[in-house]
Amino acid sequence: MKTKKRHSRNIAKNRTSRSRQQKSATSQVAAEKRFLNDLAIRGDAAEPTAEGKLPLDATYAILEKNPDGTVKKVKAVRKKLF
């Protein structure tokens, strides 16, 4: 009678999950920075005027900026229909 082998894949998967999580966290931060910078470059993100209105072509409102002028936080305010 043959005995079943226990698979070691689950153990190896659990050992590498932390490094995968760290890599995914750093890549997510990089992706967020790129997304925010791309919004500003394309003109999809704009700062509200003194009255609180956005230009018609802006879909995101800039809430915060970094000291170097890059966008830090945005809020989606409308959808763009092409």
DSSP 2-45: PPPPPPSHHHHHHHHHHHHHHHHHHHHHHHHHHHHHHHHHHT-E
Q: Which residue in this structure is represented by tokens 């000291």?
A: 67
All structural domains of the chain with their residue ranges:
11-76
pLDDT in tens, 28-77: 888 998 999 898 888 889 998 899 888 888 899 999 999 998 889 999 99
Of the candidates 49, 70, 71, 46, which has an alpha carbon nearest to the alpha carbon of residue 58? Answer: 46
Q: Please indicate, yes or no, whether the overall pTM of this predicted structure exceeds 0.75.
A: no
d(CA 76, CA 30): 20
